[in-house]
């Protein structure tokens, strides 16, 4: 029995549909987690496969990419933001999101190399996302952000800002194993993912409508699921910038 940890966000529901509506369902044990927990479970060998934030790959010495599918975007993604009480150039305090290392790292990369600011970082804020301090911003990801852009003075879509900075798409999460898996199983796994993507309309039928947010546009147009050559190039660029960031600032 292969143990799999997948992210419990709307953007992963097509993958979940494929895993639960194909024959592979009999050969796997599936758990749903936030991105950071997916990565930790894989690192701790609690699961064999995880849909993990790309920034966590370096924490896994045995990491193997096992799929041509991912969670990515080419421009605005509509679910990964910096929300702020002030223009980004005036931000002095940044609250980080505990749910995903990648989005925090992306925010820090953009702040240093694109916006050229270095705010004080706040981890595990007591009143996360609720600070009234004029120069405070916060990273927020996932379904919590749906329809929230207009509730804040400033909203910066991090995938769109990355595209503005680099001209490249962005990859948020990839399917990784911590051990070598049978090639036939990997083929079956990818066929399940394709089945799910081919049935996004069925996934949408099960979702409740959200005010000020178009779910069909999100699953069909905002999220890009194929890990193509351009996304691999973007992933390599992001890894280099993260490494530079750590060398320049000492951040981990």
65's CB contacts (< 8 A; 6+ apart) are 174, 175, 176, 227
Question: Mind giving me the DSSP string for 46-90?
Answer: S-SEEEEEGGGGGG-TT-EEEEEEEEEESS--SSEEEEESS-GGG
Q: Which two tokens stand for residue 89?
A: 């150039």
Same domain for 102 and 70: no
- pLDDT at residue 122 in the model: 85
Same domain for 64 and 188: yes
- pLDDT at residue 226 in the model: 97
Residues in the chain: 252
- pLDDT at residue 248 in the model: 67
- pLDDT at residue 132 in the model: 64
Same domain for 45 and 157: no
Same domain for 195 and 208: yes
Same domain for 125 and 62: no
Which residue range(s) make up the domain with 7? 2-74+170-228
Phi, psi of 41 (to 5 degrees): -60, -40
In a domain, residue 237? The reply is no
- pLDDT at residue 47 in the model: 95
Same domain for 46 and 6: yes
Give pLDDT tens digits along the chain (252 positions): 999 999 889 999 999 999 999 989 889 999 998 888 888 999 999 999 999 989 989 888 788 999 999 999 999 999 999 999 899 999 999 999 887 789 999 999 999 999 999 999 988 766 666 666 789 899 999 999 999 888 888 999 999 999 999 999 999 999 999 999 999 999 999 999 999 999 999 999 999 999 889 999 999 999 999 999 999 999 999 999 999 987 766 555
The pTM for the full model equals: 0.92
- pLDDT at residue 49 in the model: 95
Same domain for 107 and 175: no
Q: What is the CATH number of the domain that holds 99?
A: 3.40.190.10
**Measured CA angle at 27 (ends 23, 43), to 5 deg:** 130
Same domain for 96 and 164: yes
Strand order in the sheet with 64-73: 28-33, 2-7, 49-53, 170-177, 64-73, 224-226
- pLDDT at residue 154 in the model: 94
In a domain, residue 206? The reply is yes
In a domain, residue 113? The reply is yes
Q: Which of 35, 1, 9, 28 is nearest to 189 (CA)?
A: 28
């Amino acid at each position: 029995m292969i143990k799999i940890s997948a992210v419990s966000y709307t953007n992963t529901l097509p993958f979940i549909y494929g895993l639960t509506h194909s024959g592979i369902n009999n050969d796997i044990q599936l758990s749903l987690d936030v991105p950071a927990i997916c990565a930790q479970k894989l690192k701790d060998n609690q699961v064999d496969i995880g849909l993990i934030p790309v920034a966590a790959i370096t924490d896994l010495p045995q990491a193997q990419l096992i799929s041509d599918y991912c969670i990515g975007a080419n421009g605005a993604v509509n679910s990964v933001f910096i929300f702020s009480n002030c223009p980004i150039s005036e931000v002095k305090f940044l609250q980080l999101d505990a749910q995903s290392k990648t989005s925090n790292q992306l925010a820090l990369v953009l702040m240093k190399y694109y916006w050229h600011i270095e705010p004080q970082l706040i981890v595990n804020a007591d009143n996360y996302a609720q600070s009234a301090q004029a120069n405070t911003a916060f990273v927020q990801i996932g379904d919590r952000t749906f329809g929230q852009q207009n509730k804040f003075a400033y909203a910066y879509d991090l995938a769109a800002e990355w595209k503005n900075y680099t001209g490249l798409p962005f990859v948020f999460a990839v399917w990784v194993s911590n051990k070598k898996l049978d090639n036939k199983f990997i083929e079956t796994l990818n066929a399940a993912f394709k089945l799910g993507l081919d049935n996004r309309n069925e996934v949408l039928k099960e979702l409740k409508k959200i005010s000020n947010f178009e779910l069909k546009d999100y699953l069909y147009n905002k999220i890009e699921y194929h890990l193509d050559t351009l996304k691999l190039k973007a992933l390599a660029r992001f890894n280099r910038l993260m490494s530079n960031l750590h060398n320049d600032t000492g951040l981990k």
